[in-house]
Amino acid sequence: MKLRKVVFPVAGHGSRFLPATKATPKEMLTVVDKPLIQYAVEEALEAGFTDLIFITGKTKRTITDHFDLSLETTPNMSEQKKALFDRTNRIIPSHASCIYLRQGEPLGLGHAILQAKPVIGDEPFAVVLADDLIESKKGVLKQMVDSYDDENASLISVQRVSKEDAQQYGMISTNDNDGNLMKLSNIIEKPKPEDAPSDLGVVGRYIFSNKILAFLEKTKPGAGNEIQLTDAIKVMLNDLPVFAYQFEGTRYDCGDKLGFIKANIEYALKNEKFGNELKEYLKRRLA
């Protein structure tokens, strides 16, 4: 079955980024000049997804506004400005649609994904966490779609992380040691370094069999008193195959201030217009 549906959970508190996220969604923070959620949407469109399902919540209205055709040109505008407005308006191509659902209360990532159930039906679907920004030649979601061929199976993107950082990730163990597609044998949410089953940490790109929804419905609040996606995956592992996909690319944790600043520096250094000037500035500044 062709993968069409992708869920963007964007209803979280963003508390690690306060005060910036008091009234502004974390997912609208910009890396150079583009909000995180737009990078995520563009990655999904590149991978062929057409049904873009946003799980929004309180203080998240600007996300909805961002994908509207809201910029209006006026007759006296320069042709250059008109072209810029036109380009900026056309983020979502006409063959794709945005679907906005609400998570009334941020009760956890698992709970946010469950809000998409009425729209998912019986199809497999992807989930993208916009605060994980991944720089790669071929988008990570496209890499995963290209490796996906069994709609009963699920795919979770992973990267190697240091043991000390295990407490920030869902950590997994696998039956195989190598290759970029490995069968999962266990998953634990944010373990202490000594309890981490391996050095493979989960990153915010997933392709799920729709059966995950039934497991999420049965999941009770776990770590942080939130309904954890990790807990549902752990139970699903007993019945259905789940694979870890080691992607090609560099991931920035933009839900964290330092990760976000690193992403801005890296993307700015590659900017065609001012990348070289920034490099010179940084050289002088750090000399």
Binding site for ligand UTP (CB under 6 A): 9-16, 26-27, 55, 103, 106-109, 111-112, 129-131, 255
Q: Based on CB atoms, which residue is closest to ligand UTP, 108 or 139? A: 108
Cβ 63 to ligand UTP shortest distance, Å: 10
Task: Using alpha carbons only, give the angle 279, 280, 285 rounded to the nearest 5 degrees.
Answer: 95
Q: Where are the alpha helices (DSSP H) in 207-250?
A: 212-217, 229-236
Q: Based on CB atoms, which residue is closest to ligand UTP, 11 or 233? A: 11
At 53, list the tokens: 């399902």
Q: Based on CB atoms, which residue is closest to ligand UTP, 13 or 270? A: 13
Q: Based on CB atoms, which residue is closest to ligand UTP, 9 or 139? A: 9
Cβ 95 to ligand UTP shortest distance, Å: 25
Distance (Å, whole) CA 84 – CA 33:
13
Distance (Å, whole) CA 207 – CA 39:
18
- Alpha-carbon distances, residue 128 vs 73, 124, 139, 260 (angstroms): 33, 14, 12, 17
Cβ 33 to ligand UTP shortest distance, Å: 20
Distance (Å, whole) CA 227 – CA 36:
24
Cβ 138 to ligand UTP shortest distance, Å: 23
Q: Based on CB atoms, which residue is closest to ligand UTP, 25 or 124? A: 25
Cβ 57 to ligand UTP shortest distance, Å: 7
At 95, list the tokens: 């063959």
Cβ 129 to ligand UTP shortest distance, Å: 4
Q: Based on CB atoms, which residue is closest to ligand UTP, 103 or 159? A: 103
Indicate left, alpha or beta for 249 from its phi (over 0: left) and psi (-120 to 50: alpha): left
Question: Which residue number is nearest to ligand UTP in terms of Cβ?
Answer: 12
Amino acid letter, residue 264: N
Q: Based on CB atoms, which residue is closest to ligand UTP, 129 or 213? A: 129
Cβ 79 to ligand UTP shortest distance, Å: 38
Q: Is 181 helix (H, G, I), strand (E, B) or coil?
A: strand
Say if residues 123 and 152 touch (Cβ distance below 8 Å). Answer: no
Q: How many CB atoms lie within 10 A of CB 225?
A: 10
The helix (H) or strand (E) run that includes residue 266 is helix 257-269
The helix (H) or strand (E) run that includes residue 35 is strand 34-35
Q: Is 8 helix (H, G, I), strand (E, B) or coil?
A: strand
Q: Based on CB atoms, which residue is closest to ligand UTP, 118 or 179? A: 118
Cβ 193 to ligand UTP shortest distance, Å: 20
What is the phi/psi pair of residue 98, to 5°? -100, 135
For residue 135, list its beta bridge partners.
250
